[in-house]
Amino acid sequence: MINDVIEPALPHMTWLEGTLNTPAGFKAFAAEADIVPGRPDMALIWSVKPAVVSGLFTTNQVQAWPGLLTRKTVHHGLCQAIVVNAGNANAASGPQGEKDAAWIQEKIARGLSVPPLFVAVA
């Protein structure tokens, strides 16, 4: 299901030009992936070099696969990208949710030429 959303969106994502608020070495883009119709609903923030990262995660019994995957990602302390979608927590999605989160991580990593463990999925 999520593959049907991410794959078509990738060619249509537009890089956002930096501003005074954009840290040097970071790039970002957003796209309409039709998760939330009529507005940008997917974002990617990319650091051109590995950056120090930390995370704060829920202790709820029901946790979404992207959060569980990202917990492993930030455990080693470095990250280069985070992909975020709006309006869809991807929680309670079972084994398919785990596959989808890993697929997104791998696809973004390949596109940016970075190790998959350097890509957080939220």
SS3 26: strand
Q: Are 10 and 107 in contact (CB under 8 A)?
A: yes
> What is the average per-residue pLDDT within 84-102?
80
| Cα–Cα distance, 121 to 106 (Å, whole number) | 10
The answer to whether the predicted template modeling score (pTM) of the entire model surpasses 0.85 is no
Q: What is the pLDDT of residue 73?
A: 87
Domains and CATH numbers, the chain: 2-8+25-54+65-121 (3.60.70.12)
Per-chain mean pLDDT for the chain: 82
55, 67 in Cβ contact below 8 A?
A: no
Longest pairwise C-alpha distance within the chain = 42
Higher model confidence: residue 120 or residue 89? 120
For 27-57, write each residue's pLDDT tens digit. Answer: 888 887 777 778 788 889 999 999 999 988 8
How much is the average pLDDT of 68-78? 89
Residue 1: pLDDT over 90:
no
